[in-house]
Structure 1
Amino acid sequence: MSTYKDYQKQIAELQAKADQARHAEVGEAKAKIQAIMREYGLTLADIGGSSKQLSKTPRKPVEVKYKNEATGDTWTGRGRAPKWLEGKDKEQYLIR
């Protein structure tokens, strides 16, 4: 009958073998990919890859749609309506 320590030792040995196998397989995959890229003259840019993160273009801020002239508070019309508009007609505050 095997003990807990025996099982832990087997797990460690199997994990080491798995790590070695993965390392070898990844190396083979990289070599195949590089060979195909050389054969067809491809670069990372050609296949949509980049060594740097692609920067997203900043979004334009949403235009203000409603304004409380008395306080200067504004609202874009998106999301939950602000407290200053509760129970009031939004059309009164619509910016035209």
Structure 2
Amino acid sequence: MMSYQQLLDQRAQLEADIAAARAAERRAAIAQIRRLMSEHHIASHEILPRRAARRARLLEGEVLYQDPVSGATWAGRGRPPRWLAGRERELYRVNLESQDSREGR
């Protein structure tokens, strides 16, 4: 029977082998995807539609509203914060164009 330390060493080696195999298969999959995109003249923006790209950006935590007093922000999802309760949201809306330029988008 193997000792505890030998089993741990074996597990570490297996985890390293798994990581290497995963990386190799990932590289092969990416190469295949690129080949197919080139072969069929598919642009990357056709894979991820605009709506999905916008949703992904929103999920990143894009700030839509900001309290000028405290600097607190809200992305417009979930329950509105107390500082915005009962107030007109548009007065607290962040200018998205200037935010995009600040973030390098």
Distance 1:5 1:30, change over 3 A: same
1:44 lines up with 2:73 in the alignment: no
Alignment-mate amino acid for residue 40 of structure 1: H
TM-score by length of 2: 0.48
Distance 1:49 1:3, change over 3 A: farther
Number of equivalences: 60
TM-score by length of 1: 0.52
Hey, what's the Cα distance between the residues in 2 that align with 1:24 and 1:9?
A: 23
Report the counterpart of residue 24 of structure 1 in structure 2: 24
> Which structure's residues are more often helix, by fraction?
2
Q: Deviations over 1:12-71 (max 9, x none)?
A: 000011011001000000000000000111111111268xx5255x67xxxxxxxxxxxx
Report the counterpart of residue 14 of structure 1 in structure 2: 14
Hey, what's the Cα distance between the residues in 1 that align with 2:49 and 2:11?
A: 37
Matches within 5 A, 1:49-64: 54=54, 55=57
Alignment-mate amino acid for residue 28 of structure 1: A
Aligned-pair identity (%): 28
Describe the SS at the equivalent of 1:13.
helix
Unpaired segments of 5 or more residues in structure 2?
59-63, 65-75, 77-85, 87-105
Consecutive aligned runs of 4 or more in structure 1 exceeding 3 Å deviation: none
Larger Rg: 1
Describe the SS at the equivalent of 1:36.
helix
Unpaired segments of 5 or more residues in structure 1?
60-73, 75-96
Hey, what's the Cα distance between the residues in 1 that align with 2:31 and 2:49?
A: 17
